[in-house]
Amino acid sequence: MLATSTPTIAAESVSVLHWWTSGGESKAIGVLKDDMTQQGFKWDDFAVAGGAGAAAMTALKAQVIAGNAPSAAQIKGPSIQDWADQDMLVPIDSAASGWKTELPPQIDQTMRAGKHYVAVPFSVHRINWLWINKAALDKVGGKPPATWPEFFALADKFRAAGIVPVAHGGQPWQDMTVWENVVLSQGPDFYRKALIELDPKTLGSQQMVDVFTTTRKIQSYFDKGYVGRDWNLATAMVISGKAGMQFMGDWAKGEFANANKVPGNDYVCAVTPGTANGFTYTVDSFAFFEQHGAKQASAGQIALAKTIMSTSFQEQFSLYKGSIPVRLDVPVTKFDDCAKKSYADEQSTLKSGGFLPSLAFGMVQSTVTAGAITDAVTKFMNSSEDPQAGVKELVAASKVK
Ligand code: BGC
């Protein structure tokens, strides 16, 4: 007798390169893994540790050169177009009907190369946040600082109480985070002219000298061990109360949440001094790579894109990650007060023009120009260069194409 059996189709393996390795980040990407596994796909995780993804981008290049591009890789901003220009990406249009109205226009645009969607966005992270330990704040009788003088007054109080005023990790992208926040504190127009338009007059202005002066002063409140420290270890210092404050995008909130800390009770999220009418953002996205010469996206790639943009995933991912959903039609009712503030400020700054792509997080300028500016800022942070010299290097860096 002939045995009849249903032929088994091997489950498609979806390989995913990303840099989400901290406690909160792992929980968030775990939602996607579970979802994809439930849909019958095999999850092939390629996580490369290193905040903000520099190491992940190096690993991605090596994989592509070896002819082993992942199904999807965490890539953002203008570099999505760079990979598309090299003919490496596949269109995922069939997953993207409706995105045009579901996404903020700036973000919808970033996910496309020419006429096609080639990447899918996860969530909106706000960069201009200051995280403050609540018990430490109460101990010194302080309040969240709205201006730089208030910030320095609070930092002095922390120092006097034996608390590290500012938890920081001396890595180029973290240095950029601090500096970019000071740029934004000069107003959204100044930020736009300086970092989006690269206007030489603004970049070379006395106001920019003041930015470097303030950055130098903030640096004097870091502890001795800050060089090379990972961002989540700096966040852990604020969680434990060893440090008072940290400048960091709201993935830091994913760490607080993962440690069962509640905003308002255990910590405070405040917009960084002088930036109430600005919202610097970064949007994580996955770009889809051509697999074995196929010009069409695979079933797994389409499922990945659809899942990431599904309303249920959008909600759960951001609850763990600290961000807000990138889809404008996903309610934030289940979210904490920081996320609600982020959402409200997103809405108002989208109208006012204060919704601004972060240079520090690869949302504006080419990798080459952004890299040169990062080098200038890092050099300043790691030397005793004076603010005027910092500005000179910045102006030169802005011309590197
Ligand atoms: C990403 C975040 C990530 C952070 C730290 C940023 O570039 O946008 O998703 O949590 O880096 O790794």
Instruction: Kindly report, residue by residue over 121-133, the tens digit of the pLDDT.
Output: 999 999 999 999 9
- With contact defined as beta carbons under 8 Å apart, do 117 and 111 qualify? yes
Q: What is the average pLDDT across 377-389?
A: 98
On whether residue 182 sits in a domain, the answer given is yes
Query: What whole-number distance in Å separates Cα of residue 182 and Cα of residue 213?
Result: 10
Host H or E run for residue 138: helix 134-139
Judge if 158 and 303 occupy the same domain. no
In angstroms and rounded to an integer, the radius of gyration of the C-alpha atoms of the chain is 22
- With contact defined as beta carbons under 8 Å apart, do 226 and 168 qualify? yes
Query: What whole-number distance in Å separates Cα of residue 344 and Cα of residue 70?
Result: 36
Ligand 1, closest atom to CA 323? 9
Judge if 121 and 228 occupy the same domain. no
- With contact defined as beta carbons under 8 Å apart, do 71 and 282 qualify? no
On whether residue 85 sits in a domain, the answer given is yes
147 Cβ contact partners less than 8 Å away, ≥ 6 residues apart: 273, 274
Number of other CB atoms surrounding residue 42 within 10 Å: 13
Ligand 1, atom 6: closest residue by C-alpha: 52
Q: What is the average pLDDT across 179-194?
A: 99
51 C-alpha to ligand 1 centroid (Å): 6
Q: What is the average pLDDT across 221-233?
A: 97
User: Does residue 288 line the site of ligand 1, with CB under 6 A?
Assistant: no
7 C-alpha to ligand 1 centroid (Å): 42
Q: Which of 307, 196, 181 has its CA nearest to residue 248?
A: 181
Ligand 1, atom 3: closest residue by C-alpha: 52
- pLDDT of res. 82: 96
State which of 16, 19, 127 you would mutate to test the pocket of ligand 1, scoring each by most atoms of that ligand within 8 A of its C-beta. 19
H helix intervals, 66-160: 79-85, 99-102, 105-110, 134-139, 148-160
- pLDDT of res. 202: 98
Ligand 1, atom 1: closest residue by C-alpha: 52
User: Does residue 27 line the site of ligand 1, with CB under 6 A?
Assistant: no
pLDDT tens, 14-32?
Answer: 999 999 999 999 999 999 9
User: Does residue 53 line the site of ligand 1, with CB under 6 A?
Assistant: yes
State which of 17, 20, 173, 358 you would mutate to test the pocket of ligand 1, scoring each by most atoms of that ligand within 8 A of its C-beta. 20
Judge if 287 and 315 occupy the same domain. yes
Q: What range defines the domain where residue 217 resides? A: 129-280+351-398
Query: What whole-number distance in Å separates Cα of residue 144 and Cα of residue 276?
Result: 12
Question: Please, what is the Cα angle at 123 between 121 and 125, to 5 degrees?
Answer: 125
On whether residue 240 sits in a domain, the answer given is yes
- CATH number of the domain residue 260 falls in: 3.40.190.10
On whether residue 6 sits in a domain, the answer given is no
**194 secondary structure, DSSP code:** I
| pTM across the whole model | 0.97
Q: What is the average pLDDT across 237-258?
A: 98
**Ramachandran assignment for 369, one of left (phi > 0), alpha (psi -120 to 50 degrees), beta (any other):** alpha
**205 secondary structure, DSSP code:** S
On whether residue 197 sits in a domain, the answer given is yes
pLDDT tens, 202-221?
Answer: 999 999 999 999 999 999 99
Q: Give how far the C-alpha of residue 137 lies from the chain's centroid of Cα atoms, to the nearest Å.
A: 26
**Is residue 319's pLDDT more than 70?**
yes
On whether residue 5 sits in a domain, the answer given is no
- How much of the chain exceeds pLDDT 70, in percent? 98
For 36-49, the DSSP string reads HHHTTPEEEEEE--
Ligand 1, atom 4: closest residue by C-alpha: 52
Q: Which of 66, 60, 69 has its CA nearest to residue 14?
A: 69
- pLDDT of res. 8: 59
On whether residue 1 sits in a domain, the answer given is no
Judge if 255 and 329 occupy the same domain. no
Judge if 263 and 168 occupy the same domain. yes
- With contact defined as beta carbons under 8 Å apart, do 204 and 99 qualify? no
Ligand 1, atom 11: closest residue by C-alpha: 52
Strands (E), 238-376: 243-247, 267-271, 279-288, 324-325, 355-357
For 280-314, the DSSP string reads EEEEEEEEEB--TT-SS--HHHHHHHHHHTSHHHH
Judge if 362 and 236 occupy the same domain. yes
- With contact defined as beta carbons under 8 Å apart, do 147 and 313 qualify? no
Residue 334's pLDDT band, with cuts at 50, 70 and 90, is very high
Q: How many structural domains are present in the chain? A: 2
Residue 325's pLDDT band, with cuts at 50, 70 and 90, is very high
pLDDT tens, 61-111?
Answer: 999 999 999 999 999 999 999 999 999 999 999 999 999 999 999 999 999
Distances (CA, A) of 297 to 73, 93, 211: 14, 9, 46
Residue 6's pLDDT band, with cuts at 50, 70 and 90, is low
Judge if 235 and 294 occupy the same domain. no
Judge if 118 and 171 occupy the same domain. no
Judge if 28 and 101 occupy the same domain. yes
Query: What whole-number distance in Å separates Cα of residue 245 and Cα of residue 234?
Result: 9
352 C-alpha to ligand 1 centroid (Å): 26
Judge if 205 and 75 occupy the same domain. no
Judge if 69 and 167 occupy the same domain. no
pLDDT tens, 345-354?
Answer: 999 999 999 9
On whether residue 20 sits in a domain, the answer given is yes
- How much of the chain exceeds pLDDT 90, in percent? 97
User: Does residue 51 line the site of ligand 1, with CB under 6 A?
Assistant: yes
Mean pLDDT in the chain? 96
**Is residue 3's pLDDT more than 70?**
no
**Is residue 5's pLDDT more than 90?**
no
Query: What whole-number distance in Å separates Cα of residue 46 and Cα of residue 29?
Result: 12
Number of other CB atoms surrounding residue 95 within 10 Å: 21
- pLDDT of res. 1: 45
Ligand 1, closest atom to CA 251? 10
- pLDDT of res. 10: 78
188 C-alpha to ligand 1 centroid (Å): 23
Judge if 245 and 385 occupy the same domain. yes
Host H or E run for residue 242: none
